[in-house]
A and B are shown apart, each in its own frame.
Chain A
């Protein structure tokens, strides 16, 4: 495999605090807080899946929070965001309502998808989250269509598809790049390159580790960014999204990251992973997007360890309350299985 990502894919690099020069304090605090909320929500899901309280699979994205949070800084409620199997962060970055996520994962009527979807089929259209599904690459062409619709409806809304490095091995993704470009669709392709598809490292699946080569092939403007630097993600996304909203056609952003948990549920997957070692996971944890932002803010004297502890405790308490509520919520009624087949 060609190592075109160079340092970005080397877990021993990019451990330093990130640059927050000229950034608004309120925005930084908000991004830090949302990332922490997503992290803690997923830790709760990991724990309860391990305990057996959650019956279905959960695909956790701990370690990748900076991507959804950075992208969503630039989105409006009327944009059209589509996710996949690992989409808790994509949804929570638009609407940090972990209570409805818990309820959904537990199959309760009060969940985002009324208890009909679970972790892998999430919906919150009023906040821009059109839907997520676990068929790899299943929503990419849908997002392009929603973007085409935005153009026909004469809005400046955009379509957004979150795509993993594994998903680009599906043919429909390449059809979608081509269609979006030829249609000049207002569409942002967000590549979360975490170097793994299920258990397999990218070196065993592709001739290069740089997914942006497909943007070049389709003449789509692209940016390749450290996915664990929320400020860099937000800034690069803004530049692309400004052009997309201005009618210049699709954009493409590749964000290099790593997931701390295995493919599904709470385990590390070093046993079933091919080219996945505990050392790597530890090194990647040193590239923690939350800690790197927090350290920068503390260094700049706009944040303190005490405040972070306080914030963490507050979120922990809210999560416990929300979890208890969701646990006690009702399941869908018996007629739900047939009721929702047709409108």
Chain B
């Protein structure tokens, strides 16, 4: 089987190309699409290849453009809305939360908003509070909305394709800090998003780290470091946050008897709490050797000043320390 060398960004680009080539009902709408320097190398030249009628650059109107995509999906299209920064997408919350997520339910399963909303976490670089947010936990709280956070290069491509081919609204969240990863990918096989589950990305026996998106990459890198110190870490990548299935995680924790959750959002009311709650609910009493721990952002907006910013974001070292603290307690 012929494989192709990709990084995370070109894997997303490959998904767009696959979808636009094979599905005439797919179109893309969002700001910056005719000059997509906002989105790394993930959308280069799509407008030239597929035409500006299917790759639509828009007025500065997140709300109407997202709503229009929802409406087009009700009329048989499979639109992808692109929000180069999640923060600006907050203008579109009605279209996402009140409309896309609810139409199937409130109309008796007759309407299918098959819309994919690609929203990008794009932070660091002293950008500050309104260019930095990771709000996946909000969206995972909303029934009817599927929430996807691909970590690997393969998932960046294959979960985008699965999201667009799914009949439900999907929030697909990618993080610019994942874009440097490289991998060899086999040809596309279409996946059914509804059957996707968390995946074990590193096998280990001393502790389970659960994470999604960029936090999952940190967990993998921490696991590598800890291996040198003879600590065997199992990493479970969540992949799909809503609807959230914890069975694979429960299985892993039953084996390792220790649980650390790493998350790229804020700690309070975050997705890390949901993971721990759902796992602990399904564990036998006294299964855990230590209380579960979470590592996530402090409850503050992102600072701009570089010293504060460096301390604010979770590092590989923070994850390594948290593991050692759990195992040595």
Residues of A at under 8 Å CB distance from B?
80, 82, 111, 113-117, 121, 123, 125, 130-131, 133, 135, 138-150, 152-153, 159, 171-172, 175-176, 178-179, 182-183, 332, 336, 339-343
Partner of A142, one of B71, B102, B106: B71
Is there an interface contact between A179 and B65, defined as CB atoms closer than 8 Å? yes
Is there an interface contact between B71 and A143, defined as CB atoms closer than 8 Å? yes
B41-86 interface (Cβ within 8 A of A): 53-54, 56, 58-59, 61, 63-77, 79
Q: B75, B76, B79 — which one has the most chain A CB atoms within 10 A of its CB?
A: B75
Is there an interface contact between B167 and A343, defined as CB atoms closer than 8 Å? yes
Known A133-B102, A135-B98; 20 more pairs at CB < 8 Å: A80-B71, A113-B107, A114-B107, A117-B108, A121-B107, A130-B74, A139-B71, A139-B99, A141-B71, A145-B74, A145-B79, A149-B77, A172-B63, A172-B94, A175-B61, A176-B64, A179-B64, A340-B104, A342-B104, A342-B243
Q: A82, A121, A159, A175 — which one has the most chain B CB atoms within 10 A of its CB?
A: A175
Please list the 7 inter-chain residue pairs (A to B) with the smallest Cβ-Cβ separation, ordered nearest first: A141-B67, A114-B108, A145-B71, A145-B68, A142-B71, A175-B64, A175-B61
Partner of A153, one of B76, B105, B112: B76
- Please give me the residue from chain B that is nearest to A176 by CB atom: B64
A152 and B53 in contact (CB under 8 A), knowing A121-B106, A123-B108, A341-B105?
Answer: yes
* B326 within 8 A of partner (CB): no
A141 and B64 in contact (CB under 8 A), knowing A116-B105, A123-B107, A146-B71?
Answer: yes
Is there an interface contact between A142 and B27, defined as CB atoms closer than 8 Å? no
Is there an interface contact between A131 and B67, defined as CB atoms closer than 8 Å? no
- Please give me the residue from chain A that is nearest to B194 by CB atom: A342
- Please give me the residue from chain B that is nearest to A118 by CB atom: B106
* Whole-angstrom distance between the Cβ of A166 and the nearest chain B Cβ: 16
* Whole-angstrom distance between the Cβ of A155 and the nearest chain B Cβ: 10
Residues of B at under 8 Å CB distance from A?
27, 53-54, 56, 58-59, 61, 63-77, 79, 94-95, 98-99, 102-112, 143-144, 146, 167-168, 194, 243
A149 and B72 in contact (CB under 8 A), knowing A123-B111, A138-B94, A140-B67?
Answer: yes
Is there an interface contact between A133 and B108, defined as CB atoms closer than 8 Å? no
* Whole-angstrom distance between the Cβ of A102 and the nearest chain B Cβ: 16
Report 13 cross-chain contacts, Cβ distance below 8 Å, ordered by A residue: A113-B106, A133-B99, A135-B98, A143-B71, A145-B67, A147-B71, A150-B75, A172-B63, A175-B64, A178-B61, A339-B109, A340-B109, A343-B168
Count of A-B contacts judged by CB separation below 8 Å: 151
Report how far A125 CA is from B103 CA in the complex, Å. Answer: 13
Partner of B70, one of A125, A142, A153: A142
A-chain residues with CB within 8 Å of residue B56 when the two chains form the complex: 183
B-chain residues with CB within 8 Å of residue A113 when the two chains form the complex: 106-108, 110
Is there an interface contact between A146 and B72, defined as CB atoms closer than 8 Å? yes
- Please give me the residue from chain A that is nearest to B146 by CB atom: A342
* Whole-angstrom distance between the Cβ of B216 and the nearest chain A Cβ: 24
- Please give me the residue from chain B that is nearest to A155 by CB atom: B75
A135 and B71 in contact (CB under 8 A), knowing A114-B110, A144-B64, A175-B63?
Answer: no
Report how far A343 CA is from B107 CA in the complex, Å. Answer: 12
Q: B59, B64, B73, B74 — which one has the most chain A CB atoms within 10 A of its CB?
A: B64
Report how far A148 CA is from B75 CA in the complex, Å. Answer: 10
Report how far A121 CA is from B75 CA in the complex, Å. Answer: 17
B-chain residues with CB within 8 Å of residue A149 when the two chains form the complex: 71-72, 75-77
Report how far A137 CA is from B99 CA in the complex, Å. Answer: 11
A-chain residues with CB within 8 Å of residue B61 when the two chains form the complex: 175, 178-179
Is there an interface contact between B143 and A131, defined as CB atoms closer than 8 Å? no
A171 and B109 in contact (CB under 8 A), knowing A130-B74, A342-B144?
Answer: no
Partner of A80, one of B75, B95, B102, B167: B75
B-chain residues with CB within 8 Å of residue A117 when the two chains form the complex: 106-108
Report how far A113 CA is from B167 CA in the complex, Å. Answer: 18
Partner of B63, one of A121, A141, A146: A141
Report how far A342 CA is from B193 CA in the complex, Å. Answer: 12
A-chain residues with CB within 8 Å of residue B77 when the two chains form the complex: 149, 152-153
* Whole-angstrom distance between the Cβ of B128 and the nearest chain A Cβ: 25
B-chain residues with CB within 8 Å of residue A111 when the two chains form the complex: 108
B-chain residues with CB within 8 Å of residue A175 when the two chains form the complex: 59, 61, 63-65
Report how far A332 CA is from B66 CA in the complex, Å. Answer: 32
Is there an interface contact between A179 and B109, defined as CB atoms closer than 8 Å? no
Is there an interface contact between B105 and A141, defined as CB atoms closer than 8 Å? no
Partner of B107, one of A131, A176, A179, A332: A131
Is there an interface contact between B72 and A148, defined as CB atoms closer than 8 Å? yes
Is there an interface contact between A142 and B243, defined as CB atoms closer than 8 Å? no
- Please give me the residue from chain B that is nearest to A123 by CB atom: B107
Report how far A332 CA is from B107 CA in the complex, Å. Answer: 12
Is there an interface contact between B68 and A116, defined as CB atoms closer than 8 Å? no
Report how far A123 CA is from B102 CA in the complex, Å. Answer: 13
Is there an interface contact between B67 and A144, defined as CB atoms closer than 8 Å? yes
B-chain residues with CB within 8 Å of residue A183 when the two chains form the complex: 56
Report how far A339 CA is from B108 CA in the complex, Å. Answer: 9
A-chain residues with CB within 8 Å of residue B95 when the two chains form the complex: 141-142
Report how far A159 CA is from B74 CA in the complex, Å. Answer: 12
A-chain residues with CB within 8 Å of residue B144 when the two chains form the complex: 341-342
B-chain residues with CB within 8 Å of residue A150 when the two chains form the complex: 75
Is there an interface contact between B74 and A146, defined as CB atoms closer than 8 Å? yes
- Please give me the residue from chain B that is nearest to A336 by CB atom: B108
Report how far A121 CA is from B106 CA in the complex, Å. Answer: 7
